[in-house]
Amino acid sequence: MKNNVETLIGNALNGDRASIGRLLTYIERSPEIASKILSIIIQEKGGGHVIGVTGIPGSGKSTLISRLISHYKNSGLRVAVVAIDPTSPLSRGALLGDRIRMQEHATDPRVFIRSVPTRGVKGGLSFSGVAMIEVFDRLGFDKIIVESIGVGQTDIDIMNLAHTILVVTAPGLGDEIQALKAGIMEIGDIYVLNKSDKPEANRTYAYLDFALETGEIGSEKIKWKPRLVKTSAVMGQGIEDLVDIIEEHLQFIKKSGIYQEKIRVRRRYMVRLLAEKLFLETLENLSDSIEPTGKNIYEEAVQLLKETLSQFD
Ligand SMILES: Nc1nc2c(ncn2[C@@H]2O[C@H](COP(=O)(O)OP(=O)(O)OP(=O)(O)O)[C@@H](O)[C@H]2O)c(=O)[nH]1
Ligand SMILES: [Mg+2]
């Protein structure tokens, strides 16, 4: 197996798309093989810029990512996309009403798009997603974009692994913005008001601008002041501005050391997710054989913990 994996990695490093696809499938299907792959590929320093894109459902995240892909591709960069639980998969649906454009992305050697369904996966909810970021990093992708739907703690956890976090909103979604404030609205480095071609855009922009100024949204834990940018992904407007601010943020985190720290956090989190995944799988198998007496549930639980852990000796 080791040799197979090494050959596969070698071919993937040479840019063979089928081998990249197979590596990612191994990562999804087997924690053991995933661990082997990761031990071989993880480098001291990660080279890729991980960009997280989250936000209100239907705000145009996928359409915007498609624009970013085109931009980066035209600048000679390689782009990978990890779409966590996609509702409108980048690799399939007719984005921008333009299937041909997406198919171009899908077969372009500089672009690799992968969906990661995590619903229904037992334990280690997002291990595959995080591990895929490492793989793309090692394969030399310059921009690794992670799209996630922006709901719940897992989402926030995934987003926090990104170097640069984009929170996408759209005009006329005031209530949704309110509802999300406690969660994803706090984590953005860059807030994107997409669909700015819509008439209500100016009002929402003013609201978001005010909320950012007053610190109602965004967080200034680090010295980066969260930014607001207006785009229209369908019209292709504001994309240059967005790209410029993304680069500005990248320079900022590189200078301040946050870039490397994020990589350490990401890898630590990945190991934790793998541990969780292995533990839960083992626990599940063992707990079937247990016959609770009900006398001391706590002791029985501790016993189960010990037995589960002893399986890894
Ligand atoms: N008017 C307008 N519509 C847009 C814009 N960007 C995206 N849309 C439309 O909004 C809809 C949702 O776009 P998606 O890119 O799938 O949005 P998403 O945020 O990825 O959606 P989910 O992944 O389902 O949360 C599609 O019908 C797009 O064509 C925009 O800038 N202006
Ligand atoms: Mg989407």
Full set of structural domains in the chain with CATH: 1-41 (no CATH), 45-263 (3.40.50.300), 273-310 (no CATH)
For residue 83, the SS3 value is strand
Q: What is the rounded distance in angstroms from the CA atom of residue 267 to the CA atom of residue 116?
A: 18
The atom number, within ligand 1, closest to the CA of 65 reads: 15
Q: 260 or 208: which carries more pLDDT confidence?
A: 260
The model's pTM:
0.88
Ligand nearest to the CA of 113: 2
C-alpha–C-alpha distance, residues 290 and 17, integer Å: 46
Ligand nearest the Cα atom of residue 64: 1
- Asked whether residue 46 carries a pLDDT value surpassing 60, the answer given is yes
Is 63's C-beta closer than 6 angstroms to any atom of ligand 1?
yes
What was the pLDDT predicted at 233?
A: 95
- Sorting pLDDT into bands at 50, 70 and 90, what band is 106? low
Identify whether the C-beta of residue 202 lies closer than 8 Å to the C-beta of residue 214.
Answer: no
Q: Which atom of ligand 1 is nearest to the CA of 194?
A: 31
Best residue among 53, 54, 61, 63 to mutate for probing ligand 1, ranked by most atoms within 8 Å of CB: 63
pLDDT band at 88; cut points 50, 70, 90: low
Atom of ligand 1 nearest to the CA of 97: 29
Distance, CA 60 to ligand 1 centroid (Å)? 3
For the stretch 224-229, contacts whose Cβ atoms lie closer than 8 Å and that sit 24 or more positions apart, written own/partner, are: 224/189, 224/249, 224/252, 224/253, 226/188, 226/189, 226/190, 226/191, 227/189, 227/190, 227/191, 228/190, 228/191, 228/192, 228/193, 229/190, 229/191, 229/192, 229/193
pLDDT at position 96:
37
Average pLDDT over the chain, rounded to whole?
83
Instruction: Give the amino acid at 51.
Output: I
Nearest to 127, CA basis, from 89, 157, 147: 157
pLDDT score of 218:
60
